[in-house]
Structure 1
Amino acid sequence: MLLDALFRSFMQASDAAHALGVCHRVHLLNRVVSWVEVVEARSCPAVNVTDTTLGGVPTRVFHPRGENKLRRGVIYFHGGGWALCSARMRSYDRLCRKMAEDLDAVIMSVDYRLAPEAVFPDQYHDALAASRALLSAELLQQYGIDPQRVCVSGDSAGGNLAAAVAQELSSDDSLKVKFKAQALIYPVLQALDFYTPSYQQNQAVPILYRPYMARFWLQYLGADSSLEPLLLANNHSSLDQLAISATTRSKLNWTALLPAERKKNFKPVVKEKGSPGVVGEVPGLMDVRAAPLLAEKGVLGKTPKAYVMTCEFDVLRDDGLMYGGRLREAGVEVTSDHYEDGFHGCMVFANLPMMSSVGQRSVRNYIRWLDQNL
């Protein structure tokens, strides 16, 4: 509750600064985050930590000390709505240190470019470039990573990037090394339906409010913020949007893709008439690189086995549940890890001072899955 109050206060302050022309709202928020959270790359007895680049993209590398042997490798993309946070944040630094130590694995935490300076597909291209570099024979040998045991992972917006990268590289027959697994933590995967049951149920639940998610999407896609009310009303995906086919709609038809206990008594909100032309104005809404849930079944079927974590009190819950279901339909082995007491971002609350039971459990189970499947 304290964190939510602080976050909302900073959001309002950033909106005021933006309106007054002092600075962009995202810059103020990131300045606060950096002041509180960003830490230097400091090694410890168990893990050597260095800042470098991977495919030209800034990356923090966590390499276990000890005997010279081939280790597992994980490339990780942080969350933050494609606009906030950093691999250098204390929260992600701690998570990656723990992963490196507990798994005896090399962890690559990528600092992709952020909005508003960078917009789609810049973040995607950074994630893809870093991933391609990691899978190269040269980098695998340099860091002592077993080419048969490499995973792509990320949380929230980073889970979006991880899913998109997994789709792209799994379909690239020119690659000699591919990911063995994908681990997606409360990923954001579509922007056509802002009335899924989880969006309706959790629209005012901290820390990711429904309007914030629409704003993050518009910033990521380089679209005008004035479109936010249209997205929140589902006017952008109305039936008179001819660019959205019935096949596309079926890929996020939660009435068919979600179990009854998640649908509850919520009803779909599909407008007969909305705001024609929005999809043409914001083509990223239909681009599978931005919205991995819209991928074809054949593409999904080529992706590696998956871990999909979802939280009950999260507007993005149903994105992850639908994606897990579509992956299974495509023949992919999927482990669904759902937390009835979970909330968006809970995994970074595994340490003091913002420590929570669900945060600790989620980290523990995530690392256990990686240990057993990578």
Structure 2
Amino acid sequence: MLRMSADHLDWVEGGVAAQLGDLDAAGLRRRLRLLQRDSVGLVTLDGGTVVNFSSNDYLGLAVSDQLKQAMVEAVSRHGVGSGASRLVCGNMECHEALEAALAEFKGTEAALSFSTGHAVAVGVLPALCGAGDTIVLDKLSHASLIDGARLSGATLRIFPHNNLEKLERMLVAIRAKNAKGRILVVTESVFSMDGDAAPLAALVELKDRHGAWLLVDEAHAFGILGPQGRGLVAGLRLEKRVELQMGTLSKAAGVSGGYVAASREVIDLLINRARSLIYSTAPPPAVAATAAAAVAMIGGGEGDRRRERLWANRAHLLSLLPELDADLVMAAIVPVMIGGEREAVAAAEQLMEAGFFAPAIRYPTVARSQARLRVTLSALHELVEIEGLVGCLRRHMV
């Protein structure tokens, strides 16, 4: 029988237990919830049936019959695993077909797919930047982008959210100090916790003026914004001026994985230097094939119909909450500000009791005392469900 040493027991009881106690005291301890899908619009969560207003499956493709069938057929044809990394023997026809579809969809020369969106960020940033370079991130950039920037060894700078005046002063100072180093500006097109958008047109002008590159994370715009759901970059016709477009296939596409779309040379370099690609088993071939089917759906008539339904749901929610600034809610994310962490958790629990799941988002995901309920809309929601949610929300809005 395995016996733990006294030192190990002391470390667990005095270290781990104490840290968990601190999280409890601050109202920040999290736990995994067991979810089961009951029907198209309902889920069972911790034993209760609720309407899910927390999913990033904005178009409802994760439960679509078309993608279910695509997955079944792909498993039958390709099996369930890739067997190795892409550079060993795991690179299959469906991976390359997905990347060709993504490149065409995003208006770039090439694309590269990864197992997750997080793997994209921690692979791409260190592959392109290092010592002597500078990565400048919007303060509200996703944690994966911050992780990737830290791993790169480049100098890391943060500019206040969407503050282009401050960003320009930083770029001037960086260029004056280091004329030869590369500068990469990093932002999201739609920010995951606030639902607002980056001023991409102005950002492009700014980075061009100072000789920088721009990486735009389209995770929450892919499939939703722009022509055929091709994202905010395409919506602003900036495909040829944004060096790096990254995103995920786990939100509007309804599957899993991540991608980066860029020039052919950049993609070739990433194949050789992105560690999260080189040292990871390739995504299951059936997942890649299903993701390609999702991209085709998003860009076709079915995607148009689902986006129309999503935007109708968004308009209905905002009409019931006129105090929210509709101009700031660019996609399907509607933050309902609460403030305190404990208060946000209590509000989420009361919503659960009423039959609605909208999670409490707390530090460190957002700043302290900026806790909120994060409401996400789907093409699958019914108007009556939105009306019921709003009735409950009004009791908690600050």
- TM-score, normalization by structure 1: 0.29
Max Rg structure: 2
Q: TM-score, normalised by structure 2?
A: 0.28
Q: Which has the higher contact order (CA 8 A, sep 6+)?
A: 2
